[in-house]
Amino acid sequence: MPSFGHPGEAVPLSRRPRLPRMQRPPKTGPDPVLQLVTQLRAADVKTVECALGSPIPIDLAPHVIALVGRDDVARAACRKLVTLAPRCTGLIVDNLLDPARETTLRRRLPAILAHGDPMLASWGLWRGLSDPSFEIRSRCGAVLSRLAASGHVRDIDPEQVFEAVRRELDGDVTAWKLRTSTPDLVAEDAGSHTALAHIFHMLGLILPPEPLRIALHALQADDASLRAMALEYLESVLPPDVRAQLWPLVDHAEGGAAGALTEHPPVSALHKHRSPDELVHELRLSYEKLKRTAS
């Protein structure tokens, strides 16, 4: 008897319906995506650069990020990743904050994040300010400062920034002075990476960036009056405890620029009526005059 529509074993084979033969899929060439992955992972520089010169699907962004750590192809990888950054900002942030990644790779990613989604990039760079490596912190601070100056960083709590500055200033003078990182000749660099420059980059998240930039240059100048004016401006905008931490470090790092402040009354005691705006105006004029004299 038929069961569930099956004719049963009683039907001769000659009368059973024949099923059509399965059609084999047509032969095709190798998968172009797999070929591209193979080229991106090749040891040969020309092969990798050729692959980076072609359109890269966003799914292959992890392979491009890995190449940023290779000195021989890092320039080409960074250029390609800049074009991909708006669509894979979160992935770049993940690699930046991953302590298992090599420092060489991670320190090149902040400059690339400057071209990504500003909100995600700002969040990741802010997290990077707490990284154990000064190489990472300084580059995150420099790029984050640039994003803030462009208006892409908003709703920052000043107290959180000052707390980050306090952490960075904590420690003995000698150790603080040694906090520096050499310029990366492969990836795009975002300015100076000395310990003092890093402090000013962080302060630029909540204070006007131009006066801070001028004050930083003034502290590094040989003009004593210009240095004193820069210190007076900083005294007018920084909390007392931050000033107390910064003054000895500036004195040690900049060859005595703040030495008088560690033993005598603040500079502002001599100019009680000058507001921060007035100080900025005078500082700008003095700095421009110094530049014209030097040129």
Do 128 and 103 meet the contact criterion of CB atoms below 8 Å apart?
Answer: no
In whole angstroms, what is the distance from residue 151 CA to residue 139 CA? 19
| 86 lies in some domain | no
Q: Which domain holds residue 254?
A: 210-295
Q: What is the pLDDT of residue 265?
A: 41
Q: DSSP 3-state helix, strand, coil percentages of the chain (rounded to 5)?
A: 60, 0, 35
| 267 lies in some domain | yes
- In Å, how far are 221, 242, 250, 279 from 237, measured between CA atoms? 21, 10, 16, 11
| 185 lies in some domain | no
Place of tokens 């990077």: 128
101-125 tens-digit pLDDT: 999 999 999 999 999 999 999 999 9
Number of domains in the chain: 1
| 19 lies in some domain | no
Place of tokens 């650069």: 49
| 242 lies in some domain | yes
| 153 lies in some domain | no
262-275 tens-digit pLDDT: 443 444 444 455 77
187-236 tens-digit pLDDT: 655 556 788 989 999 999 999 888 888 888 888 877 788 888 888 889 98
Q: Specify the 3-state DSSP secondary structure of 100.
A: coil
Q: What is the pLDDT of residue 251?
A: 63
| 220 lies in some domain | yes
| 255 lies in some domain | yes
Those residues whose C-beta lies under 8 Å from the C-beta of residue 31, and which sit 6 or more positions away, are: none
